[in-house]
Copies of this chain bind each other. A is one copy, B any other.
């Protein structure tokens, strides 16, 4: 059970493109260099975020990616669901219906207690990610980071704009 690397990468990247002036974007190659990750694969992950409505893309010479919503409206759960897909991690295959003592389909109206327990655990997991917005993450980071580092990032972003 491992979360795709794209979740880590794209989350970090969202905190960077959130600093862009309105209407501007940054290219995948540039963002990939910023974190030293493979750009082609990152491109694939950013497409997933775009389809989920987290970011927007602009083609052409001075195009790139930018946030599709305000950092307040983007949660870590949004990013995880965009990359990993919506289906839960625990797969109930209804094996209680199998074998010599298998239940009939009609007697399986309620989910089995094991599946219910895992569903509940995933619910609280998702809730924990839902309350973490991109804005809150950035705020925490701003509080903990050295001011000079924040400046470095801000300046770097400015430099990338043509």
Q: A96-B12, A99-B34 are in contact. Are A117 and B132 (CB under 8 A)?
A: yes
Asked whether any CB of chain B lies closer than 8 Å to the CB of A105, the reply is no
A76 and B1 CA atoms in complex are apart in Å by 15
As a 0/1 sequence over residues 85 to 126 of chain A, the CB contacts with chain B under 8 angstroms (1 = contact) are: 000011111011011111100010010111101101110111
Asked whether any CB of chain B lies closer than 8 Å to the CB of A59, the reply is no
Closest B residue to A138 using CB positions: B113
A122 CB, nearest partner CB in chain B, Å: 7
**Cβ-closest 4 pairs across A and B:** A121-B128, A36-B98, A125-B125, A113-B140
Query: What secondary structure prevails in chain A residues at the interface with B?
Result: helix
Task: Give the interface size class of chain A.
Answer: 35 or more
| Interchain residue pairs with CB less than 8 A apart (28) | A1-B1, A1-B2, A1-B4, A1-B84, A1-B89, A2-B89, A3-B89, A3-B90, A5-B93, A8-B115, A33-B100, A34-B99, A34-B100, A36-B95, A36-B98, A100-B156, A103-B149, A107-B146, A107-B149, A113-B140, A113-B141, A113-B144, A117-B129, A117-B137, A120-B128, A121-B126, A124-B128, A125-B128
